[in-house]
Amino acid sequence: MTGDATTTRAAGSGPTDPDGVVEVSTDHEGAVVTLTINRPAKLNALTLPLLADLAAAVTAAEESHTARVLVIRTAGDRAFSVGADIKHFSTMSPVQMHREWLRRGHRAYEVIEQSILPTVAVIDGPAFGGGLELALACDLRLVTTTARLGLPEVGLGTIPGWGGATRLPRLIGAARASDLVLTRRQLTGAESVDWGICTRLAEPDGLDAALADLIDQLLGGAPHAQAVAKQLIALAGSDVPPYLGESLGGALTTTSQDFAEGVAAFTEKRSPTFRGE
């Protein structure tokens, strides 16, 4: 990582906001945007205002036209996130749960999932319930060996409500998803990689180096091609014939200046300079 990082707070958040704040920092001349959920006193438990700020920050990063990679982290050393703040939804009526809690949470995670930017969740502590579901909405998940992951909702008499029961089966299959959801089983960081939930594993003291390496690899790709590739990957498992999406997507990328630059750099045996154009 370079030393040009700057930090701001997401709109609507204040330094003493009891619902938590989203801190926004930039690096690599704005190419890397890190969103840090800061509510460590509550183990980064998620509230609707916090998720709204998170979604707004993702949108702002896309609209900056300088962001290339989006990183989602949390504050403190006790937990990535223990999930939804139970106190915020335990007194809601069924209608409120449907109209407010579940729908607005889904909306926030869909903003992350559908972002044109490659997204990375950095899991350096327990990630339970909505915390794990937040990570599942990202493209890549970097996890430490000391982390724990699980979906404990059935133990509270409810279900994973922000994508855990739908994104997880697509990722690891119905049988393993059932094992996690129905038994409340917790996985170690290493197990989560073995199961195909997380994509990279690091020791706690090597986490920043592992993240920097991953970011460098992502920055080495052409932004437009990455955005199209994300859309094609999202089609996996659908009824759209693979050749159709890949044919259209491949043809589209060849019209970009980045494609011309990539071919020229390969021919000239140098590293390409992509501009997302």
Catalytic positions, please?
133, 153
Q: Which long-range contacts (CB under 8 A, 24 or more apart) does 261-266 make?
A: 261/222, 262/222
Distance of CA 109 to the CA centre of its chain: 8
Q: Is 157 helix (H, G, I), strand (E, B) or coil?
A: coil
Q: Using alpha carbons, select from 222, 235, 196 the residue that is nearest to residue 274.
A: 222
Q: Is 267 helix (H, G, I), strand (E, B) or coil?
A: helix
DSSP string computed for 74-112: ESSSS-SB--B-HHHHTT--HHHIIIIIIHHHHHHHHHH
Residue pair 104/82 in contact (Cβ under 8 Å)? The answer is no
Residues in the chain: 277
